[in-house]
Amino acid sequence: MKKICILIAFLLFIPFNGMVDAHSGRTDSSGGHNCSEKSKAKGLCSGYHSHNGGGDTSSSDSPSTSTPSPQTWDKDCSDFATYDEVVNYWNSKGYSKTNDPEKLDGWGNAVDDGIPCEAPADYDTSKISGSAAQIAHVEAEKAKVIAEQDTAKGEKDGYAAGLANGYQEKENSASSKGSEAYKSGYSSGYSKGFDEGKSKIASEKKQADQAGYLLGQKQDKVEIPSKFADNKLLSNSFSTGFNKAVAVRDKKKEDELDAQGYKDGKNDKINEPKNVKKSYLAAYQKGFEKGQQDLKQSYLDKGFHAAYTMLEYKKPNFKNDKYITWYQEGFESNKKVLKIEEMAYNMGLKGEKLSIPQEYIDSKVIFDHHYEIGALEYEENERKQNAQTGTGFGFLILAWLARRFYVAKKMLIA
């Protein structure tokens, strides 16, 4: 029976002791203190009470006669003027949900959430050490730092890859593996590096092209400097510039020889250049041939125009038989003279008055000659026609006389 009573007394003691420890605050020399308004509002206590096992009293100024226990807590939530002071104190002590010796975080009758003295509704609890908001904030900051590090690394790697590909004029492809932050940074860095690499090689290619052009202006054999020879793109640019200059120089020389060849061809005196490029010789020969063609055409034209002024071909007094042949070809090729001859002949044949059209005035000799031929035929035709008319009339007179003679004879016989 005695053991049962002791057990009951022990069980009754446990909840009462828990009630006493359910709030925080500073104790006096007797191990007790007056309950704060906030603790009263929470229902943690009602008046002066002890934290060494004593209970509340109805009087706020009657100390407990119990033997005082060692002081456990120093601060009560009512000891702070503002909530920021609470947070500063809490943080300075390194308190948390699991480390709250002063019981500023409820402990028992209030939710132990790591928030001391119940923060105002609009307070940023991420400022409170160990709070869920701060933990989330810290995690977010860690994730942000990791993302920034991944982004930075991605930018660095992407820039290096893009710079290399842009400089080598490869395809603009920024594919990569890793976190989204890394891939985003890689893409950004690659784009920047690619543009810089592309710009860099373009500038160097231009320099190589210009260097090649300068050499091509002086010589025909390409000699690529070592600073360009080791890079295929630069080597090609140097060769392109060199060939461009050689082509310009060749074109200029070919034009000169073409003109010289033409002049010699017109003068019918060939003087081909010696020990020159095939293209140079070909240019001279081409010009010479054109000059010969124009020279021939000049003699063809002379013969053609001479046909307007001569009734028949007369061999010209040229020293070169080639010129005479061309002249005769031109003379015989003039078929317009036939039209002039026909017009003049028909005019004379019709007995019309001679009238040379202005366009044929230079062919007066030919026009007069064939008009005269037509006119003579006209006169002959007229004479023949008149003769035929006179003969017919004579026959009629004889017939009439014969008739009259026959009638008279008949009358005499009768």
The tens digit of pLDDT for each residue in 134-169 reads 888 888 989 989 999 989 999 999 999 999 999 999
Could you give the angle at the alpha carbon of 75 between the alpha carbons of 87 and 104, nearest 5°?
55
Residue 80 lies in a domain: yes
User: pLDDT digits over 352-361, tens only?
Assistant: 999 999 999 9
- Kindly state whether residues 100 and 6 are assigned to the same domain: yes
Least confident stretch, 111-125, 266-280, 321-335: 111-125
Most confident region among 138-152, 208-222, 384-398 by mean pLDDT: 208-222
Is the pLDDT at 110 greater than 70, yes or no? no
57 or 38: which leads in pLDDT: 38
Residues 295 and 255 in one domain: yes
Last residue of a domain, one of 199, 216, 233: 216
Look at residue 211 and tell me if it is in a domain. yes
- Does any domain span residue 129? no
Predicted local distance difference test score (pLDDT) of residue 400: 55
Alpha-carbon gap, residue 42 to 103, rounded angstroms: 14
pLDDT, position 114: 82
Asked if 314 and 329 sit in the same domain, the reply is: yes
β-sheet bridge partners, residue 294: none
Instruction: Let me know whether 87 and 36 are in one domain.
Output: yes
Residue keyed to tokens 């008279």: 408
Q: What is the mean pLDDT of the chain?
A: 81
129 token code pair: 């050490």
Q: How far apart, in whole angstroms, are the C-alpha atoms of residue 299 and residue 77?
A: 128
| CA nearest neighbour of 330 among 352, 305, 347 | 305
DSSP per position, 50-111: ESSS----S-TT----SPPPPP-----GGG-SSHHHHHHHHHHHT-BTTB-TT-TT--SSS-
Task: Give a yes or no: residue 44 inside a domain.
Answer: yes
What is the span of the domain harbouring residue 344?
336-396
Cβ-proximal residues to 225 (8 Å cutoff; 6+ apart), any chain? 211, 238
Euclidean distance between CA atoms 242 and 234, whole angstroms: 12
Give a yes or no: residue 357 inside a domain: yes
Q: Does some domain include residue 280?
A: yes
Q: Is the pLDDT of residue 393 over 80?
A: no
What does the pLDDT look like over 160-198, one tens digit per residue? 999 999 999 988 888 888 899 998 999 999 999 999 999
The answer to whether the beta carbons of residues 265 and 291 sit under 8 Å apart is yes
Is 48 in the same domain as 9?
yes
Residues 280 and 315 in one domain: yes
Handedness of CA 104, 110, 112, 114 (dihedral sign): negative
Mean pLDDT, range 76-102, rounded to an integer: 88
C-alpha distances (whole Å) from 285 to each of 112, 265, 276, 323 are: 109, 9, 13, 21
The predicted pLDDT at position 391 comes to: 61
Domain match, 352 and 392 both: yes
Average pLDDT over residues 204-232: 96
Please indicate, yes or no, whether residues 341 and 305 belong to a single structural domain of this protein. Answer: no
Same domain, 24 and 40: yes
412 occurs within a structural domain: no
* Distance, CA of 74 to CA of 24 (rounded, Å): 8
Does any domain span residue 154? Answer: yes
Phi, psi of 313 (to 5 degrees): -65, 135
Q: What is the C-alpha to C-alpha distance for residues 373 and 364, in angstroms, rounded to an integer?
A: 14
Say what the pLDDT of residue 32 is.
56
pLDDT computed for residue 135 by the predictor: 84
Of 47-56, 212-221, 331-340, the range with the lowest mean pLDDT is: 47-56
The pLDDT value recorded for residue 365 is 94
Closest CA to 119 of 90, 147, 146, 142: 90
pLDDT of residue 109 exceeding 50, the answer is no
Q: Measuring CA to CA, which residue among 108, 104, 110, 111 is closest to residue 15? A: 108
Nearest to 167 by CA among 232, 241, 239: 232
Is residue 73's pLDDT more than 60?
Answer: no
Q: Are residues 154 and 209 in the same domain?
A: yes
Is residue 274 scored above 90 in pLDDT? yes
Residue 267 has pLDDT above 50, yes or no: yes
Q: Do 358 and 381 belong together in one domain?
A: yes
Looking at residue 127, its pLDDT comes to 86
Say whether both 119 and 14 belong to one domain.
Answer: yes
**Number of independent structural domains in the chain:** 4
Assign 209 to helix, strand or coil.
Answer: helix
Q: Let me know if 393 is exposed, middle or buried by CB neighbors in 10 A (0-12, 13-18, 19+).
A: exposed
Mean pLDDT of 365-380: 94
The amino acid that residue 322 corresponds to is K
Last residue of one domain, picked from the residues 180, 200, 216 = 216
